[in-house]
């Protein structure tokens, strides 16, 4: 049996998964919507990954998780390593693009920038408080305009006079959008204006004060939008690299980190059929009153976290 490594990136909007070999080649990959259920989405990812490889030829010896629900899914997968998104994205991207200096990432509900020197992340910034300029923002505007968000980029490229849109805040952007529609601006110009607003909002907020040096790699779901890619290229005056697997960089990095950890833990695709339940416990053993999350697999406690001292430790 040949060794393989699993990586899962659990975001608020989408959940991604990959299986890689020891040379870090992608053997299987999945991208689907989280739909408010990170455990359920992760189970679907695991099931789909299992269907894409020959389980008589490959055995997963280590798993890694990243993303907003990384601890929860890490417990489910018996993960060898659980890492934050910055580390996972940096590792995944520098593996495929060793000379990268700047990583731009726009996901469903957050954005981040990672500055890289000699293959190591040296600076970063994240925005998780405002959805303006993210994938969910573009999706809601596409719905308002009666256009599939997947067509946004192609439509934007057809504009010769993009409409200025104020996108520093979702509420203001929607108000400005309605105003521009009522004024009679062309749909393609409004869409191009939205793409420009996303890029400018990102650079003026997430990228403020950062050294954005080439080579620049743009990733996350919004990187598939050709209009936003062009807007970044025009604003920065640099080529913007979009990897075909850019939407998988978080889970790809998690899988690479699992391999590099040297920690091999039993993993079974049967976890997709098991029942996982989480319960919250308020610790009363000290004035902190920590909120401790307990994870149960088929009724058995397998992990817990949230305690700030040993008095709140709950052992599986």
pLDDT at 107: 80
- pLDDT for the residue 316: 60
Which pLDDT score is estimated for 132?
Answer: 61
Whether a cis peptide bond, with omega within 30° of 0, leads into 215 is yes
Residues across the chain? 316
* Helix residue spans in the chain (DSSP H): 38-52, 70-77, 85-96, 135-145, 152-157, 170-183, 187-205, 226-236, 249-261
The CATH architecture one would assign to domain 98-242 is: 2-Layer Sandwich (3.30)
Nearest to 157 by CA among 116, 112, 189: 189
Considering only CA atoms, which of 61, 102, 100, 63 is closest in space to residue 82? 63
Q: How far apart are CA 121 and CA 104, in angstroms?
A: 13
Cross-strand pairs, 150 = none
Q: What share of the chain is helix, strand, coil (3-state, %, to 5)?
A: 40, 25, 35
pTM of the prediction? 0.84
Q: Which helix (H) or strand (E) holds 297?
A: strand 291-297
What is the pLDDT tens value at each position of the chain, 316 positions in all?
Answer: 899 999 999 987 889 999 999 999 999 999 998 888 888 999 999 999 999 999 999 999 999 999 888 988 998 899 999 999 999 999 999 999 999 999 999 887 788 999 999 989 999 998 865 666 677 788 888 888 888 878 888 898 988 899 988 766 666 777 887 888 888 888 899 999 988 988 888 898 889 899 999 999 999 888 888 999 999 999 999 999 999 998 899 999 999 999 999 999 989 999 888 888 888 889 888 888 888 888 888 788 877 777 778 877 776 6
CA angle 142, 225, 162 (to 5 degrees): 70
2-91+251-273 and 98-242: identical CATH topology: yes
What pLDDT does residue 214 have? 97
- Superfamily of chain region 2-91+251-273: ATPase, nucleotide binding domain (3.30.420.40)
Domain map of the chain by residue range? Answer: 2-91+251-273, 98-242, 277-312
**pLDDT value at residue 83:** 95
């Amino acid at each position: 049996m040949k060794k393989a490594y699993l990586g899962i990136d659990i975001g608020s909007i989408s959940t991604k998964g990959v299986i890689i070999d020891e040379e870090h080649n992608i053997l299987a990959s999945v991208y689907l919507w989280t739909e408010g259920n990170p455990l359920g989405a992760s189970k679907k990812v695991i099931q789909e990954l299992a269907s894409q490889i020959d389980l008589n030829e490959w055995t997963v010896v280590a798993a890694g998780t990243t993303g907003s629900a990384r601890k929860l899914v890490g417990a489910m997968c018996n993960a060898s390593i659980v890492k934050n998104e910055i580390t996972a994205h940096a590792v995944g991207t520098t593996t495929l693009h060793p000379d990268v200096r700047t990583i731009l990432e726009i996901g469903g509900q957050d954005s981040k920038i990672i500055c890289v020197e000699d293959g190591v992340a040296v600076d970063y910034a994240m925005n998780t408080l405002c959805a303006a300029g993210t994938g969910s923002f573009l999706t809601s505007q596409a719905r308002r305009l009666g256009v599939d968000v997947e067509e946004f980029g192609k439509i934007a490229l057809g504009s010769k006079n993009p409409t200025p849109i104020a996108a520093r805040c979702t509420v203001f952007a929607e108000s400005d959008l309605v105003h521009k529609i009522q004024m009679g601006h062309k749909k393609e110009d409004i869409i191009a204006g939205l793409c420009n607003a996303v890029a400018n909002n990102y650079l003026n907020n997430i990228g403020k004060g950062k050294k954005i040096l080439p080579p620049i790699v743009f990733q996350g779901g919004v990187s598939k939008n050709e209009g936003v890619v062009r807007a970044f290229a025009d604003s920065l005056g640099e080529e913007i690299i979009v990897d075909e697997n850019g939407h998988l960089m978080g889970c790809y990095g998690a899988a690479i980190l699992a391999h590099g950890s040297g920690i091999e833990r039993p993993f079974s695709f049967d976890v997709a059929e098991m029942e996982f339940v989480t319960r919250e416990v308020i610790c009363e053993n000290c004035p902190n009153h920590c909120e401790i999350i307990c994870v149960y697999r088929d009724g058995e406690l397998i992990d817990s976290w949230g305690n700030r001292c040993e008095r709140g430790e709950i052992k599986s």
